[in-house]
Amino acid sequence: MKEPTVDLALAREHGLTEDEFNRVVEILGRMPSFTELGIFSVMWSEHCSYKSSIKYLKRLPREGEHVLAKAGEENAGALDIGDGKAVVFKIESHNHPSALEPYQGAATGVGGILRDIFSMGARPIAAMDSLRFGELSDPKQQHLFNGVVEGIAGYGNCFGVPTVGGEVVFDSAYNGNCLVNAMAVGIADSGKLMPAKASGTGNPVFILGATTGRDGIHGATFASVELSDKSAEDRSSVQIGDPFLEKLLLEATLEIIDKGLAVGIQDMGAAGITCSGSEMAAGGGVGIELDLDRVPLREEGMIPYEILLSESQERMLIVGIAGREAELRAVAEKWELNIEQIGEVTEGDRFVCRWHGDVVCDIPADSLVLGGGAPVYNRPFAKPANIDIVRGRDTAITTDREPLELLESLLAMPTIASKRWVFEQYDHQVGTNTVVKPGTDSALVRVKGTSKFLAISTDCNGRYCALDPYAGAMQAVAESARNVVAVGAWPIGITNCLNFGNPEKPESYWQFVRAVEGMGDACRALNVPVTGGNVSFYNESQNGAIYPTPVIGMLGIVDGAENIIPQHFSDGLEIFVVGKSAKDEFGGSSLQKLLHREPFGLPPKVDMDDEIANARFIHTARDEGFIEACHDISDGGIGVAVAESCIWGNVGAELTIPDGRSAIDYLFGESQGRYLIAVKADNIDNVNHLAKNNDIYIELLGSCGGSSLTIHFKKRARSAEIESLKCAFESAIPNAMKGEI
C-alpha cells in the first residue's frame, strides 16, 4: 500500500496546526512520511505532550524526603514508606472514551492505570475512582453511570484488585461530558523500582502481552478535542480490555523485574508503541530501532501507521539484557503470554522503525516527547466576564422548610447519598488488605509485612471551583487531607487529575491556571509533594464546558492498628465540632444546589493554618486516647456529617444549636477545616483542656443515644428517626436507577 501524500491539509486533519507542521518539517529537514505525520500528531497531542499545561505543572511542589520518583520522571509517583517498601500511585482520566463506550472506556481506564503501577515493579493493592455524571434523573446519565460502574467492576474484579472507594458526583454541568478518573496504588520493594527508560546499546527490545490490532488508533488525539455530535464516529478510538490477560501480564512483569531480566519497562497506553518507544529512548538518551514486521498482529493488512498508533491493551515494551533473552522468553511462556523481540537499543538519539526492509520512521526521539522537543504553549487567559456578578450574589439561605426536612432531602441527593449501589458491585476485599471499606471518609488498606496502613481518598468540589478555581483547588487538597486525617492517617503525597475545558479558550485556561496555583499553595502549606497525575482538557460538548474539576488523589499513612480512628458513632458518646463554623458559607454548597440548582456567591474560605492546626489536634487527641470516632465535615455541613456517623453506627443523637445561630445556617453551612469527634463523657474536660492549650476552637454539640436524631433550637425540638434518614440515604441511587425519581 502506497502511503498518502502529506501536506498541510492532511496535517490539520491530524490535529496539527500550521506552525506545528512547519516545525515538524524543520526538525526532519524534509516532509514527513504519512507514518511520521501520525507519530507527531499523537505525540504532540494535548493528551501526550501536555503542551498547554506543562509550564504551570512545573511550578507544583515535587520535592520531599520520601520521594523516590518525581512527577513526570516515571510511569507513576513513588514514595518511600519505610520497612524497605515504596508506595507507587497515580490517577488518570478516561473521560472521552467513557462518554462513547461507558463499559470499555471505564474498564480500559482501570487497566491502563494498573499497568502504570506494576510496570514499575509494584503489586497493585487498591484501586479507587472519581466519577462525575449529569443529573441522575436523565436516562442517558443512568446509562453512562451504569456502564461505567460495570466497566470498573468488570475489570477490577476479574484482574483481582480491590476497588476500595472513591467519589461519585451528579450535576448538570457534566451532562454532555462525564468524567471517569481512575486511581491505583501499589507496593514495591523500594530498591527494585523499574525505570521507564531504555539503556545499553545492543540490548533487545521486546513486546510482551496482547497482540496488536486496530482498536484505539488515534485515541490520544481523540482525547484532545471536544466531544460533539460526530464523536460517535470515533468509537474505534476506544480500546477493548481483557482483565484476565492483564493479570497474567502483571505476574510476568513482576517476575521479570524480580529476576533482573530488564533494564526498562513501559506500558503501552496512549499512542501505543510510538509513545513507549520514543519516550523510553528519549528518557535514556539513546536510540531505539524497531522492526514492525515482527510485531504480533491480530488483524491482517495492518500498515506501519496503524501498528505504531494502535492502543491495543495489555501490552508492555521491555528493554531486556543482551544474552538473557532466553530467560525473558521463559518467563513469558510460563505465563502463556506472547513475547517477541521487535528491536534493539542503538547509539544516538533516533526513533527508527522499519517495515518490509524500508525505513518508515526516522525521528529524533527527544523531539517527540514532553520535556523535550514537544511544543510548549503560553496560552492567553482571562477571567470569565460574568464571574464577578455570579460571585456577588448573596448566599444567605431563606426557606420555610424545617431543618430535618432539609436534612432528609440532602441525604437523598445522589451526590451525598450512600454509594452502596456502586461499591457493592466492586470486590473491595480481594487481597484481604482492606481495613476500612468504601463509603466513609477514606479507604484504609494494610501494607503486609509491616505495621503500616495506607489511607486513600479522592476529592474535589467542582461547584466551588466554578466560583473560584484557586480557592476550590485549595479546598480539594484540604478536604482530601481531612479525609485521611479523620481515619488516623497523616498526608504524605498527592496525585492529581486535572479536568478542564478547552485550553484554547482564555476563560477555560484561566480556570486551569488558577486551580494549579491553588493546588500548589495548599500542597506547600501541607508539605506534601505532587508525585504526578494527568491533565484532561477539552472536556466540553455542545452543552458547554464542565465545571473546572481538579481531582485530588491523597495518600496518607497510619503506623499501628491502634492509631486507626473509626468513623461511626456509638451509644453514650459526646459529640464535639472541631473548628469554627462561620455564618452564611453557602456559596457552591449542597444546600444551595438543592434549593437553587446553580452555584453562586463565594465558596467557603480555606485557611491552611487552621487546617493543619486542627488536623494536628485530631492526632494529638487520638494519641492521648480521647477520641472514639471522627468524621470530616464537608458536603452538607454538620447536619449531613452527624447523620452519616449516626447511620453508620445505627445510633441516634441529640444536638443543641448554639445561641445566636439559625439551625439551617449552623447545620448546613460548609465552613472548611472542621471535624466531628465523639468522645466518652469522662474525657470532655480532657478534650476541652487540650483544645485550649493548643488554641483550637471546639464546641460541644450534643450526645449519642437512642434511635432518633433530635435537634434543639430556639426553644424548640424536632426529631427524625435514624431509620427514616437511613432509608433516604440508602435508597436514593437504587430508586433513581429504577426511574423512581
Q: How far is 290 from 293, CA to CA, in rounded Å?
A: 9
Residue the block writes with cell 441516634: 652
What pLDDT sits at residue 235? 41
Per-state percent for the chain, helix, strand, coil, to nearest 5? 40, 25, 35
- The dihedral of CA 72, 75, 77, 79: what is its sign? negative
- A 10 A CB-CB count for 260 gives 11
3-state secondary structure of 524: helix
Torsion, Cα of 148, 154, 155, 157 (10° steps): 130
Inter-residue contact 474 to 606 (CB < 8 Å): yes
What pLDDT sits at residue 476? 97
Q: How far is 83 from 376, CA to CA, in rounded Å?
A: 40
User: For the chain, which ranges sit under pLDDT 70?
Assistant: 1-2, 218-238, 428-434, 436-439, 740-741
State CA 99 to chain mean position distance: 17
DSSP-assigned beta bridge partners for residue 541:
544
Q: How far is 723 from 455, CA to CA, in rounded Å?
A: 30
Q: How far is 255 from 248, CA to CA, in rounded Å?
A: 11
Distances (CA, A) of 215 to 138, 239, 291, 635: 30, 5, 21, 40
3-state secondary structure of 370: coil
- The pLDDT tens digits for 396-434 are 998 989 999 999 999 999 999 999 999 889 876 665 566
Residues in CB range of 471: below 8 A, 6 or more apart: 464, 518, 602, 603, 605, 606
Q: How far is 552 from 474, CA to CA, in rounded Å?
A: 10
pTM above threshold 0.85: yes
Cite the DSSP H helix spans in 492-607.
506-526, 590-596
What CATH homologous superfamily does 1-62+195-376 map to?
Answer: PurM-like C-terminal domain (3.90.650.10)
DSSP string, 640-672: HHHHHHHHHHT--EEEEPPTT--HHHHHH---S
Inter-residue contact 410 to 591 (CB < 8 Å): yes
Active-site entry in 14, 47, 96, 631: 47
Third-level CATH fold of 386-417+565-741: Phosphoribosyl-aminoimidazole Synthetase; Chain A, domain 2 (3.90.650)
What pLDDT sits at residue 220? 47
3-state secondary structure of 62: coil
Residue the block writes with cell 476550590: 472
Inter-residue contact 78 to 188 (CB < 8 Å): yes
Q: Pick from 120, 130, 150: which is nearest to 267 by CA? A: 120
Task: Give phi and psi for 541, each to the nearest 5.
Answer: -145, -170
What are the domain boundaries of the chain?
Answer: 1-62+195-376, 386-417+565-741
Cite the DSSP H helix spans in 32-138.
34-43, 46-49, 54-57, 95-100, 102-118
**94 catalytic per annotation:** yes
What pLDDT sits at residue 543? 84
Active-site entry in 66, 94, 96, 619: 94
What pLDDT sits at residue 133? 97
Cite the DSSP H helix spans in 293-385.
304-309, 325-334
What pLDDT sits at residue 73? 80
Q: How far is 208 from 341, CA to CA, in rounded Å?
A: 9
Residues in CB range of 89: below 8 A, 6 or more apart: 76, 77, 79, 117, 183, 184, 185, 186, 456, 493, 495, 531, 553, 555
Strands 123-133 and 163-170: parallel
For the chain, the C-alpha Rg in angstroms (whole number) is 26
Q: Do domains 1-62+195-376 and 386-417+565-741 have the same CATH topology?
A: yes
**14 catalytic per annotation:** no
Residue the block writes with cell 510496570: 119
Residue the block writes with cell 513486546: 207
- The pLDDT tens digits for 220-261 are 444 444 544 554 444 455 677 899 999 999 999 999 999 999
Q: Pick from 73, 534, 94, 114: which is nearest to 314 by CA? A: 114
